[in-house]
Amino acid sequence: MVFGILLLAHIIADFPLQTDRIYRWKQQSAWGLAPHIMVHVVINLLLLSPFWRHTQVWIALLALAGTHAAIDRTKVILSRGTSIERLPSFAIDQVVHLILIAAVAFWLTRILGRTEIENSWLFDHRTALVQLTVLSIAAFAGTPILHFLTNFWRMRHGLQPEEYPKFIKRVPGIFERLLATLGVLWGGWWLWLAPAAFTPRMLLNWRDEGRSLSLLNAAMGLCLSIICGLLAV
């Protein structure tokens, strides 16, 4: 349960709430990490509000904030000299974050105890929290995941990788994956939303020169949405 809470906080703060401006600040200066880390702290504080009376919770928040800042800063330093971030860099960054989140969650679970966790409002709304997590992963974390996978495919076929898309260009994909994942979560007749969400893009790009990449991206988006939806069913 605690891992799920910390995971949701990480997903929300690292993807929908990490704007392009915050990302640029991170690349330009160590101080640019401050707003990003503050967002993480605030989201974690809100989700861990039932347990504020425990000193260990505040220690855990400081530990998560400090390690997150160290990981992100290390990633920036190591990636200097490269104009485009690659899949391995993104994957390693997220895996290290998740390992540390899991360690902190394990420690907090032992501190808080099962009874206190189950008596909190978070436990009462655990299904909604899980659904919000998979929706956030599919809709928002899905953007960099699909971007890096598409660039990996491009390089394997001798094509130049593309730069990360601006926000306005990310919006259609976000809505596609959001609708598709909702269709899987709701089930029944709503399942038609999953393929239907990607149909307009496939039709609009059917005659374009880059239709193969567009279709690949749509197919991966659909697969990601189905996987995320099934994880919460």
Residues 170-223: tens digit of each pLDDT = 999 999 999 999 999 998 889 998 989 988 877 777 776 667 777 888 889 999
Q: What is the per-residue pLDDT for 102?
A: 96
For residue 137 the two structure tokens come to 């992963």
Domain boundaries, the chain: 2-124, 137-232
pLDDT tens for the chain, residues 1 to 233 = 889 999 999 999 999 998 888 888 888 887 888 999 999 999 999 999 999 899 999 999 999 999 999 999 988 887 776 656 677 788 888 999 999 999 999 999 988 888 888 778 787 888 999 999 999 999 999 999 999 888 888 888 777 888 888 888 899 999 999 999 999 999 888 999 898 998 887 777 777 666 777 788 888 999 999 999 999 87
**pTM, rounded to two decimals:** 0.89
Are residues 32 and 26 in contact, defined by beta-carbon separation less than 8 angstroms? yes
